[in-house]
Amino acid sequence: MKLSLSELQKEYRQAPLKFDEALDLKADLMERYPDEVLDVTPVHINGMVSVEGNGDALFYAHIKATLTVPSTRSLAPVELPADFDVTEFYVDSQAALSRYEKTDVVLVVDNDEIDVDKAIADNLLLQIPMQVLTKAEQSADQLPEGQGWEVTIEGDQDAEESDSKTVDPRLAKLKNFFDDSSKGDEK
C-alpha cells in the first residue's frame, strides 16, 4: 500500500483517510530479513491518515500478525504474536522536523510517496524481543551445555563463581597485575 502525500493534502484535509486491510508482507520480510523472519501471517492493519493544518500527515494504525522467528537459543521456530499500535508523522521537508519532539517518530517523505508496507514491516521487526525461546526452553530448569562449554545467564551468581574458580593458567600471572603496579606508584 502506497500513499501520495500531496494527494492526501488535497483530498483528506477535512476528514481522515480510514483503512482496514490485510497486507501480505511475507515475501518482503523474508527477503529483507531471512535470518530473523521464518514466516509471517497476513498482517491486519486498521487505522487512519489525517492531514494536519500545516500539511503534515499523521499515520495511525493498529497492527495484528503472527511472526515465526528462530529461538535465540536453539534456532527452533517460535510463533510470536504481534498486536500493537503505530503512530508516525510524515513531512515533506527536513525543515518540518523542528516542529516535533525528539520522542515523536517523524519521517521525511521521498518522491511524495509514503510506503505503508515498508513502515508496517519495519515496525513488525521492532516487536521481536532480544530473547525468543520455545515453550520447552522457557520451562527447562537447566541450560544447554556440552564438552568444554555451557550456556550461562549474565548476572547469574553460580555461573560467575564457577568462572572465577577456573582461571586459564596462562593468565594467572595477570591476576595481581594492578596490585603490583599500584605499589610502584606509591614510591
Cα separation, 100 vs 14, whole angstroms: 22
Q: What is the mean pLDDT of residues 105-127?
A: 89
Name the region of 129 (left: φ>0; alpha: ψ -120 to 50; beta: rest): beta
Is residue 26 domain-resident?
A: yes
Is residue 144 domain-resident?
A: no
What are the pLDDT digits (tens) for 8-56?
888 888 888 899 999 999 999 999 989 899 999 999 999 999 888 787 8
DSSP 68: E
Q: For the chain, what is the domain count?
A: 2
The answer to whether residues 132 and 153 belong to one domain is no
Cα separation, 167 vs 153, whole angstroms: 19
Collapsed DSSP state (helix, strand, coil) of residue 147: coil
The answer to whether residues 100 and 163 belong to one domain is no
The answer to whether residues 27 and 71 belong to one domain is yes
The answer to whether residues 64 and 6 belong to one domain is yes
The mean predicted confidence, pLDDT, of the chain is 83
**Res. 65 pLDDT band, cuts 50 70 90:** very high
Cα separation, 27 vs 5, whole angstroms: 26
Is residue 143 domain-resident?
A: no
Residue 169 structural domain: 149-185
Asked if 186 contacts 179 with a C-beta cutoff of 8 angstroms, the reply is no
Is residue 142 domain-resident?
A: no
Is residue 84 domain-resident?
A: yes
Report CA torsion sign: 74, 84, 64, 123. Answer: negative
